[in-house]
Amino acid sequence: MTDTFVIVGGDAAGMAAASKARREDSDLEIVVFEKGEWVSYGACGLPYYVKGEIQSLEALVSVTPEEFREERDIDLRTGHEVVAIDPDDRTVTAVRDGDEVVQSYDHLLLATGAESIVPPIDGVDLEGVYTLGSMSDGKELREYVARARDSEDLQQADRGPACRYLEDCTGPVGVVGGGYIGIEMAEALAANGFEVHLFQRSDRVLTGFSEATSEAVADHLRDREVVVHLGSEVRELADDGDGTVEAVVTAADRVPVEAALIGTGVRPRTGLAEDAGIELGPTGAIAADAYRETNVPDVYAAGDCAEATHVVTGESTYVPLALTANRHGRAVGQTVTGTPTEGGGVAGTAAVKAFDVEAARTGILDRDEAREAGFDPVSETITAKSRAGYYPDGGDVTVTLTADRDSGRVLGASLVSEYGEGAVHRSHAVVGALEASATVFELENYDLAYAPPFNTTWDPVLVAAKVLGGELR
């Protein structure tokens, strides 16, 4: 009798595990339960679908359900919500249209992902208030944008409740949250002619980046006529009396809006695991060892529902990003088919585009976080040319590099440049340094490629390492 590998969740981690397990073992029975109808899709592309740069939701799908079933011989059951796990009997219970299915397993992967955080403020359930955590969310937002763009072609019956007068449906719109989703959606909406107000509770956007990066992004948003409200905690989304949002209310202001997007981050979906006695870690996500196995034997966790180990601190962290989900899912697929494989650590590497600016970050940048991990952080910020000075159309790259004062070990970096001038790709050199526990003096001597169209002889990352190394010598 062959083993059965059951997976809860059909996106990045779940389908990476299923696909790898199938490649490794053609006889393994693989059953995937997915609550929705979409699987293996690029949620990170949703802001660009809303903006209109990507024309269809289907374009965001890497592999269709039919391809998984017919070409990869995976028993993918969409529209099935798993409601219980019994580790003693080694079963999961799923429900579809009121019908219950009990499925036994030999190996179980929880890949339940994350959900949008909806802050506890009045008005979040009003008409015209959106989140962007799923394909259906993206569809709703795209339709809202389309109503504004195609006003001449629509009849009154097609007009949504958040936009009674279509000719006025280009704003204002409120975006709550100055992180990745908030900034990307501010661009998407502004590019479609909306008057965009971005509300951020803290005193800068992109709080996980350096101050220099955050300021550069905020300044560019303002240049593109996004109204940036810093230090503005939203206290209420006001009702117009008919159940539709009409204003974003902060301690200092009341800004009229026709719609609002909540982009205040995500949290792991852990309810199913908790009910089954599967332990959570200090971050609130599911705890797992190096092989992604939980405290319950043969039950694994990967993707946005689970913790990972930070390569700098060696401690548990929660970094819900696509590459981590794919990598950890793939490792589980190898492990359950007989080749124990570690999922690997994370550096918290991330990137964001804001109109004509790109930014990246990796490692530990927050001074308090670095000190809690036992480091004495020192940072330097430099601005250097992205290409040889004589080469046309170059720009600047600003790099903030952080290292430990005593050891010189590189702790993290934040980079920002004009779009296409290489801030994101340059961050990869720093990731290599973090993975190798390299010192800033070693990073200074990295043999990075040089040609005038791509960088200067001394790449901006090397310049930052030299300057910071000089501070530490």
Residues with a catalytic annotation lie at 44
- What is the SS3 assignment for the chain? CCCEEEEECCCHHHHHHHHHHHHHCCCCEEEEEECCCCCCECHHHHHHHHHCCCCCHHHHECCCHHHHHHCCCCEEEECCEEEEEECCCCEEEEEECCEEEEEECCEEEECCCEEECCCCCECCCCECEECCCCHHHHHHHHHHHHHHHCHHHCCHHHCCCCCCCHHHCCCCEEEECCCHHHHHHHHHHHCCCCCEEEECCCCCCCCCCCHHHHHHHHHHHHHCCCEEECCCCEEEEEECCCCEEEEEEECCCEEECCEEEECCCEEECCHHHHHCCCCECCCCCECCCCCCECCCCCEEECCCCECEEECCCCCEECCCCHHHHHHHHHHHHHHCCCCCCCCCCECCCEEEEECCEEEEEEECCCHHHHHHCCCCEEEEEEEEECCCCCCCCCCEEEEEEEEECCCCEEEEEEEEEECCCCHHHHHHHHHHHHHCCCEHHHHHCCCCCCCCCCCCCCCHHHHHHHHHHHHHC
Tell me if 192 sits within 8 A of 149, measured CB to CB. yes
Please tell me the number of Cα atoms within 13 Å of 370 on its side-chain side.
21
CA distances from 243 to 60, 199, 409 (A): 33, 22, 55
Q: Is 90 left (phi over 0), alpha (psi -120 to 50) or beta?
A: left
Written as one letter, the residue type at 366 is D
